[in-house]
């Protein structure tokens, strides 16, 4: 018992004269999702992907109309067609249906790949901007605002708007003058 008491007395004595010197900790939080979607470059990327999607959608709709027209023609004429002609038309309609499904799947993969390429390219630039900003402004730590990770933050530590402005500034500068 005396040893424990002595330990706490010594610990208390040491703590009395010990003054920790903490460096100022500057923390920031950035919402990368907002930067990607609200920046000018992000809006351009969304428009580019949307026009690509619209173009592909028109192609799919044209193929769908062609299949529908063939089905309607087949339904009108199937009573007078021979067994071989009916079978041939049915196979053609099925083949075109499978082609349509494959084309739709290919377009979806192509769009996803394009979206990933654009996102990765933008994220690389954004991270570089964040690193430069953090060093220039003396931040010790910058966290990505993610729903599952950050439960609470104040507006004072949210630097998303600053990063969006810096990203817009960097991407609006002509490529040759960076």
Would the pTM of this model clear 0.95, i.e. be above it?
no
14-64 per-position pLDDT tens digit? 656 555 555 578 899 999 999 999 999 999 999 999 999 999 999 999 999
111-159 per-position pLDDT tens digit? 999 999 999 999 999 999 999 999 999 999 999 987 777 778 888 899 9
Read out DSSP for 40-101? Answer: HHHHHHHHHHHHHHHHHHHHHHHHHHHHHHHHHHHHHHTTTS-HHHHHHHHHHHHHHHHHHH
| Model pLDDT, residue 126 | 95
The rounded distance, in Å, linking the Cα atoms of 15 and 12 is: 5
- C-beta of residue 123 within 8 angstroms of C-beta of residue 8: no
61-65, 94-98, 107-111, 143-147: range with lowest mean pLDDT: 143-147
């Amino acid at each position: 018992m005396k040893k424990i008491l002595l330990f706490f007395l010594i610990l208390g004595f040491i703590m009395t004269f010990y003054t920790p010197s903490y460096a100022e900790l500057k923390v920031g939080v950035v919402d990368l999702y907002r930067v990607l979607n609200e920046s000018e470059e992000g809006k351009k990327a969304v428009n580019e992907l949307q026009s690509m999607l619209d173009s592909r959608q028109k192609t799919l709709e044209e193929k769908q109309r062609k299949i529908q027209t063939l089905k309607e023609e087949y339904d009108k004429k199937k009573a007078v067609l021979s067994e071989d002609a009916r079978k041939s038309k049915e196979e053609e309609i099925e083949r075109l249906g499978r082609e349509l499904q494959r084309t739709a799947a290919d377009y979806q993969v192509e769009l996803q790949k394009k979206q990933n390429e654009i996102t990765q390219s933008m994220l690389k630039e954004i991270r570089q901007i964040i690193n430069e900003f953090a060093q220039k402004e003396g931040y010790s730590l910058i966290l990505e605002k993610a729903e599952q990770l950050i439960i609470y933050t104040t507006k004072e530590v949210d630097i998303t708007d600053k990063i969006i402005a810096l990203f817009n500034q960097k991407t609006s500068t002509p490529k040759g003058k960076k």
